[in-house]
Amino acid sequence: MFFHPMDFLIIIAFGLSLWASFRVRGTFNKWSEVPIMSGMTGYQAARRMLDANGLYDVPIEPVPGTLSDHYDPIKRVVRLSEPVYYQSSVSAVSVACHEVGHAIQHSVHYPMLVLRHQMFPIVNFSSGIAPLLILAGLIFQQFNFLLGLGIVFFAAAVTFQLVTLPVEFNASSRARDLMVAEGYISNQEEHGVAKVLNAAALTYVAAALISLLELVKYIMIFTNRNED
Ligand SMILES: [Zn+2]
């Protein structure tokens, strides 16, 4: 295909995304070395935060790998990577409590999380078919409607990524508030918690930005063709 003016911005956003993913690992590793005064492991902090919110029935499981931590809304399980589960550090406790933040969102029916879950099956389908339609539309100029259809499906996927942002930011802010209020971390340690959680949030922002710019690019190509 040809070089589109938007590609310049997309490359910058891609660079940002690469930098963000390096930084999230670097920040995590750095604050993994910093023990916390309360001496809690990621598991202990997560368990106490779940219990404090009445979520006694949500289990916590260790999973292999690094940065593989997540909350499974279908099985209602908090899964923590082994370093997070077993370690007592600023990184471990921050990540563990962030995942509990998602479990709390689920239990209180946080609207953006509900929306995200409702969109998931649609987006699962649309993000699979969108690239094929867009590619076909770009190659065969006479079938511009394929590009238009691809844009509609891709827009759904981009919306999903945008909805993910408030979900992630909200989980982190819930975690930070509770960690300080419940005394898992001290006021001095909060600075490190913010660094770890913000680094993780930036990876979501960068990914959403790339998709959004790509969407604008395809819309520009589509409308330009219609004007010709
Ligand atoms: Zn999250």
Rounded distance, CA 102 to CA 63, Å? 17
Q: Chunk the chain into consecutive blocks of 10 residues (it has 228) and report each block's average pLDDT, rounded to whole numbers.
A: 83 94 94 92 96 96 92 95 95 96 97 94 92 92 90 96 96 94 88 94 94 95 83
Q: How far is the CA of 45 from the centre of ligand 1 (A)?
A: 16
The rounded radius of gyration (Å) of the Cα atoms in the chain is: 20
* pTM for this predicted structure: 0.91
Ligand 1 (ion): residues with CB under 5 Å are 168, 171
Active-site residue identified among 99, 168, 189, 214: 99
pLDDT value at position 187?
85
Smallest CA-to-CA distance from 167 within 221, 93, 110, 83 is with 110
Q: 182 an active-site residue?
A: no
Rounded distance, CA 209 to CA 202, Å? 10
Given a contact cutoff of 8 angstroms between Cβ atoms, the answer to whether 180 and 190 are in contact is yes
118 token code pair:
């409702």
Q: How far is the CA of 91 from the centre of ligand 1 (A)?
A: 14
Angle, nearest 10°, between helix axes 90-107 and 111-139?
100
Q: How far is the CA of 71 from the centre of ligand 1 (A)?
A: 8
Rounded distance, CA 89 to CA 34, Å? 5
pLDDT value at position 226?
77
Q: How far is the CA of 225 from the centre of ligand 1 (A)?
A: 40
84 token code pair:
């997070």
